[in-house]
Amino acid sequence: MNFFGISIKKLALPLGLGAAIALGAAGGALAQSPHERCAMEAASPYEAGYRDVGVEARDMDVNEAIRACKAALSASPTAVEVKAWLGRAYYVANDVQTALPYLREAADGNNPVALQLLGDMMITGEGVTTDMEGGAALLQRAADQDYAPGQNSLGLSYDFGEGVEQDYGNAAYYYLAAAKNGLPRAMSNIGLMYQDGLGVPQDYVAAAAWFLRASDAGDAAGMVNLGKVYQDGLGLDPDPEKAFQYYKMGHDAGDLYGTNNLGFMYETGLGVEQDLGLAVQYYQEAADEGLALAQHNLAILYEDGRGVKQDLQKAFQLYTQAAENGETRAQVNLGLMYLDGRGTDANYDLAYYWTNEAAQSGHAIAMNNMGYIYENGLGVDKDLETALQWYQESAGRGYQPAAEAVQALTEIIRNGGQGNSGGKVKNK
């Protein structure tokens, strides 16, 4: 069976803004100062004093924002917040190098918008030399000012141990603070913490509630995560039709996991009438955007000839892309393609490499297949003891075929090494 994706915490860093315009008593627009105009075009609703001002980043007219904030900076050359807003406008316009000097100056003035953006850039290495510790320090300064995007980003740093020691308790603390301050992505993130029991007691009902709030606030990840809740029945009654609806909402809002999950629903006929052609379409859409899970799922359809004409070379290409992007299930299947010479020439060295990659990640089927490789001496010296260790590792993770192989291989070793215990297994 293919696997659903759940939207992850790092899909996008929040740059949310609100929208407002000043009206006079008669309903006409008040005359705006350059500073006010810049704020309306580029300020964040999460910074104190400007919570009802600005626009969402996705809706920002970057040309107008840059024009307005350049005029405001000319009128007030030392205004720290104007520098931050101008830097933000250039950042949203994907002109990072022009944004940087404005953000740095504003960060020196302790502006939370600049601190958060610059801190994220330093952690990811976007346009600057990577400095995770320095970036996390800037995020801490932004979070200390009760700035929700800074709190969420600092939560990410603690969640993934970037620039600070990994600490799920602190991650949950900052996600929750940002969520309470209205940041939709933080609502999704704290929901995931409750779902997984990381930094907070596991609570599926609380997780579902936060996903619902995130979804209602327009967060695409929240929509997909809520769909997964309805799919699995964790915290809410299972409802495949609602799962499909929320995956569709997430897809329409640009979430690639939503796109992949629509493919799965159409592939399996879960919550919607089965349509393998649409499954291929949605998997392809997400795969083209680089989502490893979708590349893996599409590869299986090409390998099996479901919804498309069987094409082992295409399957091999997709497994390769997904494996290189870190999808362990694809690494398992790519190892098998090399082992069997399907879609490519047989290559035991590469079969071992990719199978071992997945096994080192703790993948039970990959461990089973490593046992098979050592048991049969495929690209390595035959070593029944090492094979047995791999089978045992796999069995210890609950994989029943490996448990059967352990029993059989133990008997083979006892009888002097005659016979064959197990088999390699494809991971769908």
Residues 21 and 44: their CA atoms lie apart, in Å, by 14
Question: Shortest CA distance to 15 belongs to which of 60, 57, 64, 65?
Answer: 57
Three-class SS of residue 44? coil
427 pLDDT band (50/70/90 cuts)? Answer: low
Residue ranges matching CATH 1.25.40.10 in the chain? 1-10+184-289, 17-109
* Domain boundaries 1-10+184-289, corresponding CATH code: 1.25.40.10
* Domain boundaries 17-109, corresponding CATH code: 1.25.40.10
Which residue(s) pair with 29 in the sheet?
Answer: 23
Going 95 to 137 to 178 to 111, the CA torsion angle's sign is negative
Taking each helix axis as running N to C, give the angle between helix 328-340 and helix 292-304, from 0 to 180 degrees, rounded to the nearest 10.
40
Contact 42, 60 (CB under 8 A): yes
Question: CB atoms < 10 A from the CB of 275, how many?
Answer: 15
pTM for the full predicted model:
0.87
Residue 166 has pLDDT above 80, yes or no: yes
pLDDT in tens, 201-228: 999 999 999 999 999 999 999 999 999 9
pLDDT at position 57: 84
Residues 371 and 396: their CA atoms lie apart, in Å, by 13
User: CA of 36: how far to CAs of 70, 93, 364, in Å?
Assistant: 12, 21, 59
Residue 351 has pLDDT above 80, yes or no: yes
Question: CB atoms < 10 A from the CB of 231, how many?
Answer: 23
pLDDT at position 52: 82
Residue 16 has pLDDT above 80, yes or no: no
